[in-house]
């Protein structure tokens, strides 16, 4: 049985979406840490159904809190990883970030980044979108 999935009835390992996403997040995290960011939290979820999730919450050296969405696609079909971060996905990430920021009486500076992995190539987009 391979690292990425479960063996199906004596066949080849199945690559689950969750396992593939975990590998993509690991690659994104390594890239961000190498650039000097510090991991604060991973897979932060808002309570309840229909809430948002933030793949990685990181902190820049200057104290900026960075909410990171990690998207991975095997090929550039359908616009690639970047195209998969639509308006609904952005709204859910922003909702989760707002919920996360309730921890602070005075929230730090923040931004929303994306780490895109298309056909194995990693691309980090700083300030990929904003909450406005």
Concatenating the DSSP letter of every residue in 38-69 gives EEEEEEEE-SSTT--EEEEEEE-TTS-EEEEE
Count of alpha carbons within 13 angstroms of residue 73, beta-carbon side: 14
Q: Which residues pair with 34 in a beta bridge?
A: none
Q: What pLDDT score was predicted for residue 88? A: 86
Q: Which residues pair with 68 in a beta bridge?
A: 56, 113
Q: Does the pLDDT of residue 1 top 50, yes or no?
A: no
pTM: 0.82
- Token pair of 97 as six digits: 């970030």
Pick the CATH number of 5-129 from 3.40.1350.10, 3.40.50.2300, 3.40.50.620, 3.30.450.70: 3.40.1350.10
How many percent of the chain have pLDDT more than 70?
Answer: 79
Using one digit for the tens of pLDDT, what is the confidence trace for 18-60? 776 788 899 999 999 999 999 999 999 998 777 789 999 999 9
Number of CB atoms found within 10 A of residue 103's CB: 7
CA distance 94 to 128: 12
Average pLDDT across the chain, whole number: 83
**Domain boundary assignment for the chain:** 5-129
Using one digit for the tens of pLDDT, what is the confidence trace for 63-82? 999 999 998 876 655 566 66
How many percent of the chain have pLDDT more than 90?
Answer: 53
- H helix count then E strand count, the chain: 3, 7
Q: What pLDDT score was predicted for residue 75? A: 60
Q: What pLDDT score was predicted for residue 26? A: 93
């Amino acid at each position: 049985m391979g690292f990425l999935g479960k063996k199906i009835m004596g066949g080849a390992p199945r690559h689950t979406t969750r396992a593939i996403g975990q590998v993509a997040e690991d690659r994104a995290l390594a890239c961000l840490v190498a650039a000097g960011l510090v991991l604060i939290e991973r897979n932060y979820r808002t309570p309840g159904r229909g809430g948002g999730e933030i793949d990685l919450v990181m902190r820049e050296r200057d104290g900026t809190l960075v909410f990171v969405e990690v998207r991975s696609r095997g090929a550039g079909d359908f616009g690639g990883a970047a195209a998969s971060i639509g308006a609904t996905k952005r709204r859910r990430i922003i909702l989760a970030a707002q919920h996360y920021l309730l921890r602070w009486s005075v929230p730090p500076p923040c931004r929303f980044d994306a780490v895109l992995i298309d056909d194995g190539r990693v691309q980090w987009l700083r300030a990929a979108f904003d909450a406005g």
